[in-house]
Structure 1
Amino acid sequence: MYQKVCMENVAIVLHDTRIPENIGAAARAAANMGVGQVILSAPRNFDMERVLKVATHSASGLVEAMTVCNTLPEALGTFNWIVGTTARLGGTRRVNFSPADLATKLIPISSENRVAVLFGPEDRGLTNEDLQLCHDLVNIPAAGFSSLNLAQAVMVISYELFKARTREPKFYIPRLACRYELENMYEELQDTFNRIHYINHENPEQRLDKTRSFLSRYQLRSREVSLIRGFCRQVARYGEKCYQDGVTAGAAGGKKTQETR
């Protein structure tokens, strides 16, 4: 029996779009491939009438059910696995997958988890900061000019997800930690790094970026995120206890010195 991507658990997230017609065309492409949801993050010049005109009747239901969020973290908060799209390569943009390989990976993940495929604005794509919120990166190979039209890119990814099949024995991937849970964990890790002076204060983001990159390789579950956060809280408690013990010892030492005079 073939296994497929659960398209109902897949959402296309369009961040910082500039042209309403591009939203409509992207939604039409997503609807054609059975994508479950389209989410807009901080859209500019949003005009539902212009969006629907391009989406046509076939995608009107998907468009009318769109969620519009003010920020990218808000748009991605409830998703368990996030894939960022990028045309630019190199540096910190270590692309994990081609569209076909990505689709194969998402077959077991999508059965029990909500998956977001994130696309950036038409003129410049996603920033490095945006991509920090992603577990995987995907690049669409192209000859010559590497940047595709937004709707074209949505169609390529959605098509690969729709047609992906595998005969491999199914292995179970349970519900993973959502973006909100992960971001709270990273905040506590950063606070812990600061407390134990594990961060280069001239470039404080470098250590956390490497930590994000490392932990994103693993499919962290909610209980594993809770375990890491519990460790951070215990480090904070221990550090506070050591500080208070030092203050008490210092005060006692000062008092003893005065008494022996």
Structure 2
Amino acid sequence: MSTKHPRLNNIAIVLVNPKYPENIGSAARAAWNMGITRLIVVADEYPDHERMVKLATHNAAHLINSMEFHENLRDALEPFSQIIGTTARKGRHRTEGNSPREIMEIILPLLPKNQIAFLFGAEDCGLTNDDLKHCQLRSAIPTADFSSLNLAQAVAIHCYEIFHAVVHEQKDIIPNPKLATSYEVEHMYDHLEKSLQQIDSLQKKTHEYNMRDIRQFFGRIQLRSKETKLLQNIFRNFLSHTSKPENTL
């Protein structure tokens, strides 16, 4: 299936702190049914294998066997250039999400040259603000009564929309260039944050929100690797300059 639609190989389903191994199995089954072969789990402990395989069934058991496991989300996202956080939660400090179909229109030109991750949070609370800071886009599934779906349902809907877009909407798509990876972007943010702290531009009470707004700004720009390295060098040089003792006469 994946060889017929190779662009699906650039898609990964990332489950962050899932509570029930059975839901991982159901997610693997939904992904495999739609030609998606990469499953990543981020958790403190490796989930029970037998409970995962039981719900994956024999058709998708190999996805469980080859599943990537990480204890840290930042490490798990390093190779991805576009990250979509799925969330039904709304709040004063959360941007409004696009529907899955709208998300596919945005990412389709990126697929030929970029790896893309879809993040799904824990069954009871979803993705945290700290999880979502890594995301350039938010996806929210519209429902009749504005309630959230369970994890396996949310994964299945997104996988179907991905498959449908790749199979039926590829005509006349002009591929976008390769973007910077999350690894490159996060290192740029590290130097940017240290630079702003150096000049006391990040106040303690608003530090988190200011960095969130900065991340959203750069996320909309879609930086390339060369650009992140340029910015990182600027911030590094700034830190080096400001840390030098002042010249005295």
- State the TM-score, normalized to the length of structure 1: 0.87
Q: CA deviation at 1:207?
A: 2.1
Sequence identity (%):
41
Structure 1 residues 219 and 21 mapped into 2: Cα distance closer, same or farther (>3 Å)?
same
Amino acid at match of 2:204: H
1:143 maps to what in 2?
144
Gap regions ≥5 residues in structure 2 = none
The letter of the residue matching 1:20 is P
Shift of 1:198: 1.6
What CA distance in whole angstroms lies between the structure 1 residues aligned with 2:73 and 2:96? 21
Aligned partners of 2:21 and 2:49 also within 8 Å: yes
Question: Counterpart in 1 of 2:159?
Answer: 158
Could you tell me the TM-score, scaled by structure 2's length? Answer: 0.91
Alignment pair present for 1:33 and 2:31 = no
CA contact (8 A) 1:192 1:236 kept: yes
1:258 corresponds to: none
The two structures, once aligned, show a CA RMSD in angstroms of 1.8
Residue 126 of structure 1 and its aligned partner are, at CA, apart by: 0.4
Instruction: Show the counterpart of 2:69.
Output: 68
Q: Is 2:177 the counterpart of 1:201?
A: no
CA offset at residue 169 of structure 1? Answer: 3.1
1:116 pairs with 2:117: yes
What is the CA-CA distance between 1:97 and the residue it aligns to? 1.5
1:217 to 211, 216, 220: 220
Call closer, same or farther: CA 1:56–1:167 in 2, change over 3 Å. closer
In structure 1, runs of 5+ residues without a counterpart are 250-261
Q: Distance in 1 between matches of 2:146 and 2:44?
A: 25
| Compared CA separation, residues 133 and 227, structure 1 to 2 (3 A) | same
Give the aligned partner of residue 9 of structure 1: 10
**In structure 2, what residue type is equivalent to 1:244?**
E
- Aligned to 1:56, what secondary structure does the other structure show? helix
Instruction: List aligned pairs for 1:234-245, cutoff 5 A.
Output: 234-241=237-244, 243-245=245-247
Q: Distance in 1 between matches of 2:44 and 2:198?
A: 38
Name the amino acid aligned to 1:207: N
> Aligned runs of 1:155-194 on 2, under 5 Å?
155-164=156-165, 165-166=168-169, 169-194=172-197
Decide which structure has the larger Cα Rg and report it.
Answer: 1
User: Structure 2: how far apart are the matches of 1:197 and 1:226?
Assistant: 24
